[in-house]
Amino acid sequence: GTLGRRYVLVSWLVSVCPVYEHMYQSPLAPHLPALLPQLLMTIADKDRSLSKQAKTCTEYVANTPMLSSAVLPQVLSTAEAMIVSTSWHVRAAVLPFLQTLLFRHQFVVHKEDMRKVRELVVQLLCDSQVEVREMASSAVSVLVRISGDELALSLQGLFRGWCAGPLPKQIKGADGMAAMNLRHAGVLGLAALIGSHPYDVPEWMPSILVKLASHINEPMPVKQTVKNTFGEFWRTHQDAWTQHKDKFAEDELTALTDLLVSPTYFS
């Protein structure tokens, strides 16, 4: 049956992918557009052992050595089609696959392909499932790292817009949940921009940190995202904080003091 075929496929790929890891090109490459949907759907399988193997396998496939200019757009199109899957497990699995694939192929991927992927990933920040939104945030960080500050500057207006406006007092019903999800999407988007620069402070970053801090007392999962972002920021920036803090205006430092100098706040 289908389960048996998936077992065979995943077992075979797990065994052969590492063999090609250090080659310039993989003999598997031309077959990836056909194999990828099966792999990603297997991640959503109820058989946990098979699902775990498929996850490992997807990581191997994402690290496939240089895909040709003929195969790469096909693989990206296949991944894009899986992003609208009705299974949130599949939607979440596509994101780390895409970020690894794009990072490895950042110098050869066509601008139009990169733009399409970027739009889809940003769209998934608004997913109804929190796990997908969080995966999308990690993917946005990688995309900004690849594309540079121009992308960070173009996205921050969108993310700030999602964070604007009051939340309903009662987060109930479809409208309340939609408002909460959009707020969380905005906060995750801003968090992704912060995460794209783990060891420096570009000039656009201080105001985003202040904006994030203003959401610290909002309901979960927004509150937790803000805490996690500041905890990670402090972990990666504290060693050179004497230099970093010169990038902040006095009022910005005042607004951030409680969040930045109290690591116990994140425990």
Highest mean pLDDT among 9-13, 71-75, 222-226: 222-226
Contacts of 149 (CB under 8 A, 6+ apart): 202, 204
Task: Specify the pLDDT at position 141.
Answer: 96
Query: CB of 173 within 8 A of CB of 215?
Result: no
Q: How far apart are CA 85 and CA 92, in angstroms?
A: 10
Residues 239-253: pLDDT tens digits? 888 899 899 999 998
Residue by residue, DSSP assigns 48-98 as HHHHHHHHHHHHHHHT-S---TTHHHHHHHHHHHHTT-S-HHHHHHHHHHH
Question: Is residue 266 very low, low, confident or very high in pLDDT (cuts 50, 70, 90)?
Answer: very low
Q: Can you state the percent helix, strand and coil of the chain, rounding each to 5?
A: 75, 0, 25
Tokens of 118: 């970027």
Q: How far apart are CA 126 and CA 132, in angstroms?
A: 9
Pick from 108, 138, 109: which is nearest to 121 by CA? Answer: 138
Q: How far apart are CA 178 and CA 1, in angstroms?
A: 40
SS3 (DSSP) at 249: coil
Query: CB of 247 within 8 A of CB of 203?
Result: yes
Question: What is the chain's mean pLDDT, rounded?
Answer: 86
Pick from 104, 105, 144, 87: which is nearest to 121 by CA? Answer: 144
Answer yes or no: is pLDDT of 186 > 80: yes
Q: What is the mean pLDDT of residues 63-74?
A: 83
Neighbours of 150 (CB within 10 A): 9
Percent of the chain scored above 70 by pLDDT?
Answer: 91
